[in-house]
Amino acid sequence: MKEKRITKFFLTCATLVTGITLGVNLCFQHSTKAVVAESSETSDTATADFIASIGETARQIGQDRNLYASVMIAQAVLESSSGQSALSQSPYYNFFGIKGSYNGNSVTMLTWEDDGNGNTYEVDQAFRSYDSLSDSLNDYANLLSWDLYSGTWKSNTTSYQDATAALTGLYATDTSYADKLNALIEQYGLTVYDEPASTEEETSSEDNSDHVWNEYRGSYTTAAILAEDEAWLRFISQ
């Protein structure tokens, strides 16, 4: 009888321990999911803010230089981690991971490369350093204007997918580069930036009817440009 009571006691303890462990695991899993969800939401917000801060500038450059603004923005998001990478921060402002030097200015940083077979490795590289975001965007357009990148031009393609495919293995060694860019373009609806600004905006810009004082540029600009400058200031102040 005594042995039965002891056995029952240990079985009860084991059941309690199992229940407690299961409860802890469930709580941990719930907490982990909550943290992951919150982190994902924060990341999406940061990316959306970053896109808003460069979208109109990218649109204009794309229209002027025969390029897909959607691809330009997606590359900036991917290469700079939505403007959070060390290379994209002041004083470098390199949002596209462009290597080499710009007007004699460069910075050396550790980066990941792909050997072409999906295997990655770390290496020190010299990257271009710019004075501003605008310099970075325009230099990107200059780079893609080379004949080497003619496969990315609007006039030589039927869609942004053709452009991202042309960049893979050429602009970046990452074998899944096009897939990553396409996913960003689709997730954030970036193709809207491939279209020219509305006729109403262009008309109002021509007659200066909607121009406001832009303290960041020290001149009158459209309200849309002022809003973009304010968005950029908020972004870099985070």
More confident residue, 219 or 191: 191
In order of their start, the domains of the chain are 43-194+209-235 (1.10.530.10)
For residues 49-70, average pLDDT: 95
Name the pLDDT band for 22 (thresholds 50, 70, 90): very low
- pLDDT score of 219: 67
pLDDT > 90: percent of the chain: 55
Residue 153 has pLDDT above 90, yes or no: yes
Burial 43-52, CB ≥16 within 10 A → b, else e: eeebbebbbe
Structure tokens, 209: 């009817």
Residue 217 has pLDDT above 80, yes or no: no
Q: How many helices (H) and strands (E) does the chain have?
A: 7, 4
> What CA–CA distance (Å, rounded) separates 53 from 210?
20
Q: Which of 9-13, 99-103, 208-212, 225-229 has the highest mean pLDDT?
A: 99-103
Name the pLDDT band for 5 (thresholds 50, 70, 90): low
- pLDDT score of 220: 66
| Half-sphere CA count of 176, side-chain side, radius 13 A | 7
For residues 187-202, average pLDDT: 82
